[in-house]
């Protein structure tokens, strides 16, 4: 099982991608998509230095993506409003530092995608000495609010999704 399907979720995604690309649910396309889903992860295995991500809690991942989507739409309107109605000099664009506890490379990749997809924030880099995230914020009003939001809304759920839970009960239903 482990040898033939190193990452079942990736295989399912590849199969779905194939079916969508061909816009067909004929048995032949299921077969071809299935072959793609099994062969591609096996062939690409040596290209993944960290191995495939182990998603401990898929439901938490979907919840995180859904909340991020809402946040993206909300930020879109905020940024549009600033672009349309405010003068460029009045916008307080700043770099801020967010201390991170997240170490999983897959988790960091997901975090960077979510932060960069949200208009108004751009990930610059992780400072290697202190493991702090350097972030550029379009219109900064309260640095502590940003740090708290990123830590509680993004980092904590990602730790739950990717890393083995140390306190299984914590974070349940929040």
Say how far apart CA 145 and CA 142 lie, in whole Å: 5
Which of residues 112, 149, 153, 171 is near another protein by CB under 8 A?
112
Rule CB under 8 A: say whether 127 interacts with another protein. no
Q: How far is CA 41 from CA 12, 27, 29, 38, 54, in A?
A: 11, 22, 18, 6, 14
The structure tokens listed for 22 are 């061909």
Shortest Å distance, C-beta 135 to another protein: 10
Rule CB under 8 A: say whether 130 interacts with another protein. no
CA 82 to chain centre: 26
Shortest Å distance, C-beta 82 to another protein: 9
Rule CB under 8 A: say whether 23 interacts with another protein. yes
Closest CB to another protein among 124 and 172? 124
Rule CB under 8 A: say whether 76 interacts with another protein. yes
Say how far apart CA 120 and CA 84 lie, in whole Å: 14
Say how far apart CA 111 and CA 122 lie, in whole Å: 11
* Interface residue list for another protein (CB under 8 A): 17, 20-21, 23, 72-73, 76-77, 79-80, 83-84, 88-89, 91, 93, 112-113, 115-120, 122-125, 136, 138
């Amino acid at each position: 099982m482990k040898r033939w399907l190193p990452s079942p979720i990736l295989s399912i995604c590849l199969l779905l991608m194939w079916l969508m690309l061909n816009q067909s649910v004929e048995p032949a396309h299921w077969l071809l998509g299935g072959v793609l889903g099994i062969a591609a992860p096996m062939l690409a295995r040596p290209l993944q230095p960290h191995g495939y991500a182990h998603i401990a809690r898929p439901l938490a991942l979907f919840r995180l993506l859904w909340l991020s989507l809402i946040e993206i739409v909300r930020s879109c309107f905020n940024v549009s409003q600033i672009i349309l109605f405010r003068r460029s000099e009045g916008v307080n664009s700043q770099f801020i530092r967010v201390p991170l506890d997240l170490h999983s490379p897959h988790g960091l990749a997901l975090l960077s995608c979510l932060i960069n997809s949200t208009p108004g924030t751009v990930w610059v880099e992780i400072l290697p000495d202190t493991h702090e995230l350097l972030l550029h914020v379009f219109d900064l009003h309260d640095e502590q609010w940003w740090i708290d939001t990123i830590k509680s809304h993004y980092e904590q759920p990602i730790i739950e999704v990717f890393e083995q839970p140390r306190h299984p009960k914590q974070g349940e239903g929040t």
